[in-house]
């Protein structure tokens, strides 16, 4: 993760430290079910100080970030939140950042602060920009609030998920409803030295301190992808329905843009994100990375792997998994666990046909090159398999 510093909030009564991706902050404070309910009701704060924070300053910062990332940010207004990615030349996700500008500084909240700041620093050339990893000085607190910062409040990023932003599209299996619309979430950036006092002010107002068990369970329920969990070395944004909030399909060139256009216009993503409802009778959960199997006995085949898992206060054990796109949506899957194999039913997130909601109609050879994004000097990637 971004920092090995142990959060001072782990000294709070009942705190149990998380492991893995969320090490350094609390998994829960003694009553994870009550914490989930409080967070779902918008009256809890979650320690997110294990996330990294990178700042970009200078008069060229927005146009420069626009040229490097998947998102249109040239005219990003102060206080407006967005999300962006750095892709490989082949269109694979390398870095993801939650972005908000305060008029002088662009704040990037990320799970790869060292890698992101190093990449950005290499790309400065002669432009008037400065990049800094300020994780040691600033930290984030998560709140189940959809509103941006009010006058006098700290810089705040409001999660745009699951709205389809301007220039975005969706690969959703169901475009009429989305469970993420019920989830409010924002990250408030505060001085790291003020974490205790910031939390105390919220507790004094009647809020509850919740752990990452609560925030992860609600994130999974909302189909919300997370870079540190759902992204591997081969991940395309299309596979996670992440063109909703993080990719602008009609902006200028950026690295990986040709692949994004090819998959959207004439291809199909090879994998898809799905929600798994796990058998809860065994009171066991699979490990992250556990293989998801289809079929039985000698005929069993690997369909994908688990990327996130939690126990939801209403839904029971749930998980996000990356599956082969061809996996039968109606098939009952099996996931191994320490308590034995768990049956898993799919709830489709990304549709199984691999087409976006606004996929262009088939075109003749004259237009094909344009739709595939050719002509972007930042590119160099081939069509994914």
Q: What are 6-23's pLDDT values in tens digits?
A: 899 999 999 999 999 999
Token digits for 357?
Answer: 């909601």
Mean pLDDT of 173-188: 96
Other CB atoms within a 10 A radius of the CB of residue 40 amount to: 21
User: d(Cα 94, Cα 112) in Å, to the nearest integer?
Assistant: 9
Q: Using an 8 Å Cβ cutoff, are 372 and 258 in contact?
A: yes
Per-residue pLDDT at 310 exceeds 60: yes
Cα–Cα distances (Å) from 139 to 107, 286, 301, 339, in that order, read 11, 31, 43, 37
Mean pLDDT of 315-332: 96
pLDDT tens string 54-89: 999 999 999 999 999 999 999 999 999 999 999 999
Q: Which fold has domain 271-348?
A: Elongation Factor Tu (Ef-tu); domain 3 (2.40.30)
User: d(Cα 333, Cα 329) in Å, to the nearest integer?
Assistant: 10
Torsion angle defined by CA atoms of residues 315, 39, 321 and 238, in that order, rounded to the nearest 10 degrees: 130
Mean pLDDT of 114-124: 97
Partner residues linked to 45 by β-bridges: 143, 209
Token digits for 381?
Answer: 């990637």
User: d(Cα 169, Cα 23) in Å, to the nearest integer?
Assistant: 34
Residue (of 110, 125, 122) closest to 55 by Cα position: 110
Token digits for 215?
Answer: 């925030």
Q: In the chain, list all ranges with CATH 3.30.1360.120.
A: 8-230
Per-residue pLDDT at 94 exceeds 60: yes
Torsion angle defined by CA atoms of residues 135, 158, 190 and 143, in that order, rounded to the nearest 10 degrees: -110
Q: In the chain, list all ranges with CATH 2.40.30.110.
A: 271-348
Mean pLDDT of 297-316: 94
Residue (of 185, 61, 72) closest to 127 by Cα position: 61
Q: How confident is the model at residue 360 (pLDDT cuts 50, 70, 90)?
A: confident
User: d(Cα 160, Cα 177) in Å, to the nearest integer?
Assistant: 16
Q: Which fold has domain 8-230?
A: Gyrase A; domain 2 (3.30.1360)
Considering only residues 380 and 55, tell me which one the structure prediction assigns the higher pLDDT. Answer: 55
| Residue 286 CB contacts under 8 Å (≥ 6 apart), including other chains | 278, 306, 309, 319, 335, 336, 337, 342
| Residue 330 CB contacts under 8 Å (≥ 6 apart), including other chains | 346
């Amino acid at each position: 993760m971004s920092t090995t510093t142990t959060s001072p909030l782990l000294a709070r009564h009942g705190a149990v430290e998380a492991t893995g991706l969320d090490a350094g902050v609390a998994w829960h404070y003694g009553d994870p079910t009550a914490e989930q309910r409080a967070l779902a009701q918008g009256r809890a704060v979650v320690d997110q100080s294990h996330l990294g924070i990178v700042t970009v300053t200078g008069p060229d910062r927005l146009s420069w970030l626009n040229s490097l990332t998947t998102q249109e940010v040239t005219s990003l207004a102060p206080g407006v939140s967005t999300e962006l990615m750095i892709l490989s030349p082949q269109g694979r996700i390398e870095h993801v950042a939650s972005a908000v500008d305060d008029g002088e500084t662009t704040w990037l909240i990320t799970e790869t602060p060292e890698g992101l700041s190093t990449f950005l620093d290499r790309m400065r050339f002669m432009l008037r920009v400065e990049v800094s990893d300020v994780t040691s000085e600033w930290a984030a607190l998560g709140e189940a609030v959809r509103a941006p910062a009010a006058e006098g409040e700290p810089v705040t990023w409001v999660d745009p998920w699951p709205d389809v932003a301007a220039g975005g599209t969706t690969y959703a299996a169901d475009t009429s409803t989305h469970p993420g619309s019920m989830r409010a979430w924002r990250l408030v950036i505060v001085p790291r030295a003020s974490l205790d006092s910031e939390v105390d002010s919220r507790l004094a107002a009647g809020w509850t301190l919740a752990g990452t068990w609560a925030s992860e369970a609600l994130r999974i329920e909302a189909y919300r992808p997370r870079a540190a969990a759902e992204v591997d070395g081969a991940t395309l944004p299309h596979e996670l329905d992440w063109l909703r909030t993080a990719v602008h399909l009609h902006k200028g060139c950026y690295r990986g843009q040709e692949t994004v256009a090819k998959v959207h216009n004439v291809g199909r993503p090879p994998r898809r994100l799905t929600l798994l409802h796990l058998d809860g009778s065994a009171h066991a959960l699979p490990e992250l990375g556990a293989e998801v199997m289809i079929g039985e006995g000698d005929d069993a085949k690997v369909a994908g792997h688990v990327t996130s898992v939690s126990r939801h206060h209403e839904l029971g054990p749930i998980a996000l998994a990356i599956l082969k796109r061809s996996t039968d949506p109606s098939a009952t899957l099996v996931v191994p666990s320490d308590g034995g194999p768990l049956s898993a039913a799919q709830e489709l997130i990304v549709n199984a046909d691999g087409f976006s909601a606004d996929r262009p109609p088939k075109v003749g050879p004259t237009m094909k090159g344009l739709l595939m994004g050719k002509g972007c000097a930042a590119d160099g990637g081939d069509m994914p398999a």
